[in-house]
Amino acid sequence: MSNSREIRLFWFKLAFVVTVLGLAHLLALSVVDGKTSIGLAKVSGPRQSHMIIGTSRIAQAVMPSVLEKEIGAPFLNFAIDAATTSYSPTYNRAIEQKLDPHASNGKFILAMDPWCITGFYHPKNGTVMYPEKKTPLGQLQTFNWPLNIEYLIRDYHEGWGSIILTHLRDNSTVTGHRDGWVEVTRNTDEDFVQSRKEKKIAAKKKEIEHAFVSEEKKQALYSLIKKLKAHGKVYLVRLPVDPDYYLLEEEFYPGFQLFVDSLVRDYGVPFLSMQNMTSEVAYNDGHHINKKYAPLISERIAQWIQSTP
């Protein structure tokens, strides 16, 4: 049993430690930037009227700043990666939370490739997996705080002290910009690129063993298009990839073009395939475009949007 002096001292010491820890965490919050988390900017700030939607390929390839210059509308790149933001009811929910409900003249660029509608079986027990439900975005409740602390807590898997360390270091290779564009800096040396491409293709081939074209994901895409059309215009874009990688996509889903054609027909949305640009650009790994060519890709898309009635 402790006397009251000891108890008071205990509370004083505890309060001291908690205060110091609290201040340290506030300091960390004050230096949060694009290097902290690529998704953070996408879920911070006000609701949006113009959005870029899809997976990591479009997250790295399409720059809202370039679109804004050409089209005059501020876009948000709301794509993260295949596990989180391939088409699904979960992603649709997030888009709806981020979309300005009063938007009527919005522009929405939707990525089109087989992986956006690919589902996976559990390699061991064969049941369909829903990885997006467990992602930070899938579980998020708030989408519009100026700085989304909830997302940071869910997405940042290190002590907050390393926010400060990352901020001070200048060797970050992945940066999430305020408009949602994900800037990835990779060594462009040909050997590196070639070996990364081989690894990527090998990994994808392994993944395909448990993959299938998902009817549920298609349904999610249909309802997303319907929903977005009520707020403006929807544009479908297939970004260029390395020819070897393209071959893999064709092998995996030979009927993909027919599927896109049916979307164009049934929903009256325009589609742009950019595969013919493949020799004009370079890739980090055959799959993601090198950041040098992101402005070019963005510009072409903007021009196409401008010229599409």
Q: Interface residues with other proteins (CB under 8 A)?
A: 1-2, 6-7, 9-10, 17, 21, 24, 124-127, 153, 157-162, 164-165
Alpha-carbon distance values, 295 to 44, 63, 291, 308 (Å): 24, 7, 8, 20
**Whole-number minimum distance, CB 265 to other proteins, in Å?**
38
In the bound state with other proteins, the residue whose beta carbon lies nearer, of 102 and 124, is 124
In the bound state with other proteins, the residue whose beta carbon lies nearer, of 171 and 307, is 171
In the bound state with other proteins, the residue whose beta carbon lies nearer, of 171 and 276, is 171
Q: Which of 19, 22, 32, 20 is nearest to 164 (CA)?
A: 32
> Measured in whole angstroms, how far is the alpha carbon of residue 41 from the centre of its chain?
11
In the bound state with other proteins, the residue whose beta carbon lies nearer, of 21 and 230, is 21
Q: Which residues of 209-244 are buried (b: 16+ CB within 10 A; e: fewer)?
A: eebeebeebbebbeebbeebeebbbbbbbbbbbbee
**Whole-number minimum distance, CB 185 to other proteins, in Å?**
18
Q: Which of 101, 94, 81, 102 is nearest to 150 (CA)?
A: 94
Going by the DSSP 8-state scheme, the letter that residue 85 receives in this structure is H
**Whole-number minimum distance, CB 65 to other proteins, in Å?**
33
In the bound state with other proteins, the residue whose beta carbon lies nearer, of 24 and 282, is 24
Helix (H) or strand (E) holding 58: helix 56-61
> How many other CB atoms are found less than 10 A from the CB of residue 42?
31
**Whole-number minimum distance, CB 215 to other proteins, in Å?**
20
Spatial contact of 115 and 245, defined as CB atoms under 8 Å apart: no
**Whole-number minimum distance, CB 80 to other proteins, in Å?**
18
Spatial contact of 29 and 54, defined as CB atoms under 8 Å apart: no
In the bound state with other proteins, the residue whose beta carbon lies nearer, of 124 and 265, is 124
**Whole-number minimum distance, CB 136 to other proteins, in Å?**
12
